[in-house]
Chains A and B, each alone.
Chain A
Amino acid sequence: MMAVFDTPEEAFGVLRPVCVQLTKTQTVENVEHLQTRLQAVSDSALQELQQYILFPLRFTLKTPGPKRERLIQSVVECLTFVLSSTCVKEQELLQELFSELSACLYSPSSQKPAAVSEELKLAVIQGLSTLMHSAYGDIILTFYEPSILPRLGFAVSLLLGLAEQEKSKQIKIAALKCLQVLLLQCECQDHPRSLDELEQKQLGDLFASFLPGISTTLTRVITGDFKQGHSIVVSSLKIFYKTVSFIMADEQLKRISKVQAKSAVEHRVAELMVHREADWVKNTGNKLTILIKKIIECVSVHPHWKVRLELVELVEDLLLKCSQSLVESAGPLLKALVGLVNDESPEVQAQCNKVLRHFADQKVVVGNKALADILSESLHSLATSLPRLMTSQDDQGKFSTLSLLLGYLKLLGPKINFVLNSVAHLQRLSKALIQVLELDVADIKIVEERCWNSDDLNASPKTSATQPWNHIQRRYFRFFTDERIFMLLRQVCQLLGYYGNLYLLVDHFMELYRQSVVYRKQAAMILNELVTGAAGLEVEDLHEKHIKTNPEELREIVTSILEEYTSQENWYLVTCIETEEMGEELMMEHPGLQAITSGEHTSQVTSFLAFSKPSPIVCSMNSNIWQICIQLEGIGQFAYALGKDFCLLLMSTLYPVLEKAGDQTLLISQVATSTMMDICHACGYDSLQHLINQNSDYLVNGISLNLRHLALHPHTPKVLEVMLRNSDANLLPLVADVVQDVLATLDQFYDKRAASFVSVLHALLAALAQWFPDTGNLRHLHEQSLGEEGSHLNQRPATLENSTTAEDIEQFLLNYLKEKDVADGNVSDFDNEEEEQPVPPKVEENDTHPDVEPPLPLQIQMAMDVMERCIHLLSDKNLQIRLKVLRTLGSKCGDFLRSRFCKDVLPKLAGSLVTQAPISARAGPVYSHTLAFKLQLAVLQGLGPLCERLDLGEGDLNKVADACLIYLSAKQPVKLQEAARSVFLHLMKVDPDSTWFLLIELYCPTQFTPPHPSLHPVQLRGASRQQNPYMANVLRLLKELQ
């Protein structure tokens, strides 16, 4: 509102009548009149007339006798209005007004605030607050002289009482705000001057008298019902810590003399004064500790984040200012802070981290012996109770406990070694970690999921994340389900690795790893994180000058862990029941490997008897699978931690990892592949192929040495296979070198392990053919014939079109007769049945070395060596091997094999398919795990390509078709149906017409109307259109034919 009366004179003229009126008759109306007039007076005029205007108001308050509350309220409000627009320049006035306002709520009969209306209470609180703000300049300080103590004390207790006991939230907040003002904690802009040391001390001495009252009352408010609203708790917390940190400030206390100076105050007041000497500090500190503990206990779990945030402030303020006076509270305070490091609210988290960083910067912990001791002690005691807590707490409890642990580690930084150096505590800590990280290995799916096609290494590392644990396999733990707990545990381990003595820790956990299969997986997980942490790549360091483990040392440590991981007994674990590839001699030679560790496993982990479903065998195989996966992930993490330095470890790691990439268990193969990508990333290879290709020498070394102990390393040929697929012609000498070993080993074990070698030889020949493309005629001819076949197939649909004319039929008939003639043998020239021999290459005459025979090119020599072995293996007693050899040879020198195949092999294959068919048709789902099933599947999968490549005659094709037809039945296992369909797809390529006819006879979806009325309608056996078990597969195949 615009001031109407600018000059004191004008204003006086206007105000005088109402003032006089009020002095005479004290009514609400008169007060209101005054206030209305006041609003038209400018501030400067008001200041001039301040005393004059205040007089009737104060007079009203002071008039003895009962007064109506409403009147007092309006007087107080009017007073407040005047004070808000003016300054109080005299100390006396300030004191008097203070007393008069406080007295409005005074009830002589009780200690409690008078039972007056809420409006009045609010008005008085506002009045007091405004009064303190209106004090001009330094008079506010002179106000706080010892003589004010009784009056100030009264006001403080009054406000505390209101804050604690009032129902109205508004009053509570106002009271707390006013209390802040009284205690000079007001946050508004009107108090610019900071206090000097002496002033601080004087105020501290004065306020110390109120400390018991303030601290206990506020503690009650703070620890009161959560429902009272967060702002009350926040304000109370603020007043609490500001008051405590002011009165108990180490800065102030160290200047307090032992003897209390004689003060010139009257005896009554002197009695109230507190002398903050050592004893008082100690006693008060102890009492405050009790309150602080109560507050922390309550507030750290307060549902409102702003309250927890204020707790962080409290901790910071008290620890920074009172670390000596409140030494007893330091432990609980730190614990509170540390416990909030992983608060669910990001604001609290951020503030916590900021405070922790601040502490670290200020060397509050590291530089402060007492605090460091307290932290170490806390960590000690937490380590002690950790195993118990980890078993007894629920997920939420575990989460806060681990958060606390993490916070301690963060805060202590390099000093955690004090705790780790104590054997007992390290053991406790590790026991707890090992315990809580125990995996749940009962999931049967892990063992079951198989990887049928392990050759897909085309993934590019660029698509994967740069941090290995972003694609870490999801795992299940026995003692918790919350994923955040796992993240916390990893952080804990990483911090241990970062700050702790890595040699000590790695030794310790390696020891546990070796000790028992019960600990092994957890110990490996911990080791993985320790190394990641030690590299310092993900750790947020609060202690900037901390020196990381040097790369050389880290590499040595990693090397030793890797040796353990990839050792025979930890890398080659039983993960499936199949013995096909294990070989019997292995089981005999190494019973330990085969004894799936089940005995030890049940001892501590779980008594599996309790659960009847997953068998101990499955569980221990799962456990083995997880162990391998964790170790693989570890290798990925190590690569990440070491970066380019990891290149030096490729010689020992690439082979075992690649071996696992070809593992039959899906999980293992997936994890191994992603480990390889981590390695690519770390060592700077753009693809897995690149990685393999560039490190073939290391792989060859591994392959060659492992071939010497094939029984222990049955998967060695598989690794070579993968290597061959990812190599190129440049590696020929290397390949030639290792092929010598392969052939030598094959010669040695041809009776036991030929199967795995034949696929390597196949891969080798394929690779050679690809690296050294044949430019000769044979290949050309072959392609031509392929082309003709193709075109023949393409022409077929034309003949099936409906627009068939009589001429077409005639032509067809003629062709048919001609072909029949040919089929009967009336043909002039036969195909040349000569064996295909590798053409001896022309070698230049070389005069310089007359004693050296010109050698065959390396690749041809190799191919010859391979073929030689294959011919011998054709008579192997194992059906699968014969098949594989045939495929290998068939792809390279088809014709010569045809006769042998048709005479020796085909009848047996067909026979076994026919006899086995009824069994598989009846069998249940378990059948797919039997050897018989795998044999059937292999035969069916192999027959198609063979028939096609060997270019079999009609009679033999019929044999094949007859044997496979039964497998098109829907009663057969799905996989066998699929394989049988593939046989027919190949047969279609060789002879589409007869295949079509054969299928149509089984089931015919349509009626065939003759193309010409003069012809008889065709009657086909399959045309019954009844449902039959072959229908589905036949329809699918016929669809392919069209």
Chain B
Amino acid sequence: MAAPCPLPPPDPQFVLRGTQSPVHALHFCEGRQAQGHPLLFSGSQSGLVHIWSLQMRRALTTLDGHGGQCVTWLQTLPQGHQLLSQGRDLKLCLWDLAEGRNAVVDSVPLESVGFCRSSILVQGQPRWMLAVPGKGSNEVQILEMPSKTSVCTLKPEADAKLGMPMCLRLWQADCSPRPLLLAGYEDGSVALWDVSEQKVCSRIACHEEPVMDLDFDSQKAKGISGSAGKALAVWRLDGQQALQVCGTHQLTNPGIAEVTIRPDRKILATAGWDHRIRVFHWRKMQPLAVLAFHSAAIQCVAFAADGLLAAGSKDQRISLWSLYPRA
């Protein structure tokens, strides 16, 4: 490790057990919805969503809405007590969690069986935009929610041969209201779509293996992607909305399931198939820690607003880590 003063890697602050199934998705929920005590949502291979109280370190409720099929993505909507869950049962469920309710109030049928996670962009209340893998194997579908109106389908040019979309990130530059979509593809490339014009602004082939996940820091206009291979790629977006590879970081073992930048954009964490969580300094891309605790591949990592890191693994455990706590 290149860290100047390597301390022994820390232990998890605590470990949540009880999903009884590999954990595929994690999402922190804070603020009003949780009455001051942050909650953690986890989605498991057995199709259940567990809602964990971080204060009690126990599961409060279990949501069963995906017919036993793996839950791959979880997201809460900022305005209310609503949770989105994406399952491999080809359904995206919208849950109402207000006042102790836990019922599916709406669902969006999906047409792709892949592992591609969806993405949302909340522009103005109450409307929001949803990007989901589309019907055609290389398509991304954009919906306006909550009306579920299809806005458009983003389909690469026929000769591009990008393969399936693997990961999606909707965003919006501060200076422009145009929604943009970053998508990682099976062929190892990352493309920037202008959603309104339905065209690819820029595309870079930054991995040799399928892109598994990406995260984007819109302030620095810089993003990172991880693949099934042994490298992390850092790329940025210039003024002309062209993607450029800034560098790659080689890993000892292949396979990154998820990469997440901490909300304060200081550090980032990756979920490794090699059972390890890796933590990097975001600006310098300096490796800070390799966290070994899990006994199987890590499938997801998430940061809470206060910096708490959660990792979900195939070994059915969710580990929580307090790293470089901010003063």
Contacts and interface: CB of A to CB of B under 8 A. Distances in A.
Interface of A: 648, 651, 697-698, 700-701, 704-705, 708-709, 733-734, 737, 740, 744
* Most chain A Cβ neighbours within 10 Å, of B17, B18, B316: B17
B17 A697 contact: yes
B17 A648 contact: no
Nearest to A696: B17
A698 B12 CA distance: 14
B57 A708 contact: no
15 contacts: A648-B55, A648-B56, A697-B18, A700-B17, A701-B17, A701-B57, A708-B11, A733-B17, A733-B18, A734-B17, A737-B17, A737-B316, A737-B317, A740-B295, A744-B295
Nearest to B55: A648
A964 B12 CA distance: 51
Contacts, number: 33
Contacts of B57: 651, 697-698, 701
Contacts of B20: 733
A723 B57 CA distance: 19
A385 B316 CA distance: 63
Contacts of B58: 697
B15 interface: yes
Given A651-B57, A737-B317, A701 B295 contact: no
A705 B15 contact: yes
B10 to A, nearest CB: 11
B161 to A, nearest CB: 29
The 10 nearest A-B residue pairs measured at CB: A705-B11, A733-B20, A737-B17, A651-B57, A701-B14, A701-B15, A734-B17, A708-B11, A697-B17, A704-B15
Interface of A is mostly: helix
B56 to A, nearest CB: 7
A700 B15 CA distance: 9
Nearest to A651: B57
B21 to A, nearest CB: 10
Contacts of A701: 14-15, 17, 57
Contacts of B15: 701, 704-705
* Most chain B Cβ neighbours within 10 Å, of A698, A705, A709: A705
Interface in B14-72: 14-15, 17-18, 20, 55-58
Contacts of A733: 17-18, 20
B47 to A, nearest CB: 13
Nearest to A848: B68
A733 B317 CA distance: 12
Contacts of A737: 17, 316-317
A734 B56 CA distance: 17
A740 B294 CA distance: 11
Contacts of B55: 648
Contacts of A705: 11-12, 14-15
B229 to A, nearest CB: 25
B18 A734 contact: yes
A651 B14 contact: yes
A612 to B, nearest CB: 45
Nearest to B17: A737
A709 B8 CA distance: 12
Contacts of B17: 697, 700-701, 733-734, 737
Nearest to B58: A697
Given A701-B15, A734-B17, 18 more contacts: A651-B14, A651-B56, A697-B17, A697-B18, A697-B57, A697-B58, A698-B57, A701-B14, A701-B17, A701-B57, A705-B12, A705-B14, A708-B293, A709-B11, A733-B17, A733-B18, A733-B20, A744-B295
Contacts of B317: 737
Contacts of A734: 17-18
B286 to A, nearest CB: 26
Contacts of A651: 14, 56-57
Contacts of A700: 17
A1001 to B, nearest CB: 59
Contacts of B293: 708
Contacts of A740: 295
A744 B315 CA distance: 14
A701 B320 CA distance: 11
A566 B207 CA distance: 48
Contacts of B56: 648, 651
B276 to A, nearest CB: 15
Contacts of A648: 55-56
B45 to A, nearest CB: 11
Nearest to B53: A648
A708 B14 CA distance: 13
A36 B145 CA distance: 120
B55 to A, nearest CB: 6
A683 to B, nearest CB: 13
A733 B293 CA distance: 19
A482 B316 CA distance: 58
A648 B14 CA distance: 14
A709 B11 CA distance: 10
A700 B56 CA distance: 15
Interface string B260-288: 00000000000000000000000000000
A823 B293 CA distance: 58
A32 B53 CA distance: 101
Nearest to A734: B17
Nearest to A705: B11
B317 to A, nearest CB: 7
Contacts of A698: 57
Contacts of A709: 11
Nearest to B295: A740
B58 to A, nearest CB: 7
Contacts of A744: 295
A698 B55 CA distance: 12
Interface in B292-327: 293, 295, 316-317
Interface in B167-218: none
B193 to A, nearest CB: 35
A740 B11 CA distance: 17
A698 B16 CA distance: 9
Contacts of B316: 737
A697 B317 CA distance: 12
* Most chain B Cβ neighbours within 10 Å, of A701, A708, A709: A701
* Most chain B Cβ neighbours within 10 Å, of A698, A737, A744: A737
A816 B18 CA distance: 62
B320 to A, nearest CB: 10
Contacts of B12: 705
Contacts of A704: 15
A236 B6 CA distance: 82
Nearest to A740: B295
A923 to B, nearest CB: 45
A704 B295 CA distance: 12
A856 to B, nearest CB: 16
Nearest to B317: A737
A18 to B, nearest CB: 100
B108 to A, nearest CB: 25
A371 to B, nearest CB: 44
A732 to B, nearest CB: 10
Nearest to A849: B68
Nearest to B8: A709
A701 B55 CA distance: 15
A1022 to B, nearest CB: 61
Contacts of B18: 697, 733-734
A651 B15 CA distance: 11
A848 to B, nearest CB: 9
A701 B11 CA distance: 11
A525 B18 CA distance: 39
A698 B14 CA distance: 9
* Most chain A Cβ neighbours within 10 Å, of B12, B57, B293: B57
A865 to B, nearest CB: 13
A711 to B, nearest CB: 13
A896 to B, nearest CB: 31
B53 to A, nearest CB: 10
A740 B296 CA distance: 12
Nearest to A708: B11
